[in-house]
Amino acid sequence: MKIVKEAVAGTLESSDVLVKVSPSDSGTLNIVIHSDVIKQFGNQIRRVTVDTLGKLAVSEATVVIEDKGALDYAIRARVEAAVLRGAGSEELDWRQL
């Protein structure tokens, strides 16, 4: 899936995550994570993000994660929503994931 415009999903509320996606200038996948718990859960946040992007076939994008203690399912949902918005897609068959 190709990201064609900037898009956002989520909030900065406690236990949520704000995900911003935009087209990549360099043609690569760049992931930036900001989190109060990055030392404890940074690797897991990155793993969930990369896995979700892989399932959505996103290989070129800039993704910024602003984590406020979100659980894996919330991160997956927010990444998926931001990618679909950024790709200009209306819907995705959830069974693909």
Give mean pLDDT in consecutive 10-residue pieces for the chain, a chain of 97 residues.
95 96 93 95 97 95 97 97 88 54
Task: Please state the domain count of the chain.
Answer: 1
Distance of alpha carbon 80 from alpha carbon 60, whole angstroms? 15
CA torsion sign for 19, 40, 57, 74 is negative
What is the tens place of the pLDDT at every residue in 15-33?
A: 999 999 999 988 899 999 9
Is 86 a member of any domain? yes
Region for 11 from its dihedrals, namely left if φ exceeds 0, alpha if ψ lies in -120 to 50, beta otherwise: beta
Structure confidence at residue 88 (pLDDT) = 86
Question: Helix (H) and strand (E) counts for the chain?
Answer: 2, 4
Structure confidence at residue 89 (pLDDT) = 73
Structure confidence at residue 90 (pLDDT) = 62
Range of the domain at 34: 7-90
Q: Which residues contact 37 (CB under 8 A, 6 or more apart)?
A: 67, 69
Structure confidence at residue 92 (pLDDT) = 58
Is 97 a member of any domain? no
